[in-house]
A = this chain, B = another copy of it.
Amino acid sequence: MDVPRGLDPRWLDDDQQHAWRQLAAVMLKLPSELDHQLQHDAGLSHFEYWVMALLSEADGHRLRLSDLAAQANASLSRLSHVVTRLERRGWVRRTPSPDDARTTLAVLTDTGLGQVTAAAPGHVETVQQLVFDPLDREDVDHLARVCGAIADRLDRHRDG
């Protein structure tokens, strides 16, 4: 990771150390809680829910797998596996794209739409309780700003 030889690494100072631990705690625990609630109440992983929610918002309830992967922040491989599983349960089906024979569209079925719709209220309530209840309105702005900056940096890190 390009540590200049002969120079001290840029260690984290106390503030950074503290902030990093809090962020790491959220990264570790929050996904597990969300998975737990959704699994228990709707038989879905958080990622499966996210994918189906994205499809439910899309025109014609369908998206190219690549686009879906990008919006879900996932690898194409991961998405392909998940779509296969959702397909087995009848909530999503694959359709060849009319424009480009390479690309596949994932389409949310009516049953699938019903599934997300039913799961949504419980999931949103959990997000409210775990993420937003402990925050005031200013905090929400800060959260968006800070995470937005990091997320941008992460995007550029991939190709840049």
Interface assignment of A74: CB less than 8 Å from any CB of chain B: yes
Of A17-25, A60-68, A79-87, A90-98, the segment with at least 4 beta carbons within 8 Å of chain B is A17-25
Contacts of A29 in B (CB 8 A): 73, 151, 154-155
Alpha-carbon distance A2/B10, docked complex (angstroms): 46
**Chain B contacts for A2, CB-based, 8 A:** 125
Closest to A123 in B: B1
**Copies in the assembly, this chain:** 2
Within 8 Å by CB of A73, from B24, B74, B147, lies B24
Q: Kindly report which residue of chain B lies nearest to residue A122, judged by CB atoms.
A: B1
A143 CA to B25 CA, complexed, in Å:
12
Q: Does residue A149 face the partner (Cβ distance < 8 Å to B)?
A: yes
**Residue contact A143 to B22, C-beta cutoff 8 Å:** yes
- Can you list, as one digit per residue, whether each of A130-160 has a CB less than 8 Å from chain B (1) or not (0)? 1111110101111111111111111101000
Please report A residues at the B interface, Cβ cutoff 8 Å: 1-3, 9-12, 15-16, 18-20, 22-31, 33, 37, 41, 50, 72-74, 120-135, 137, 139-155, 157
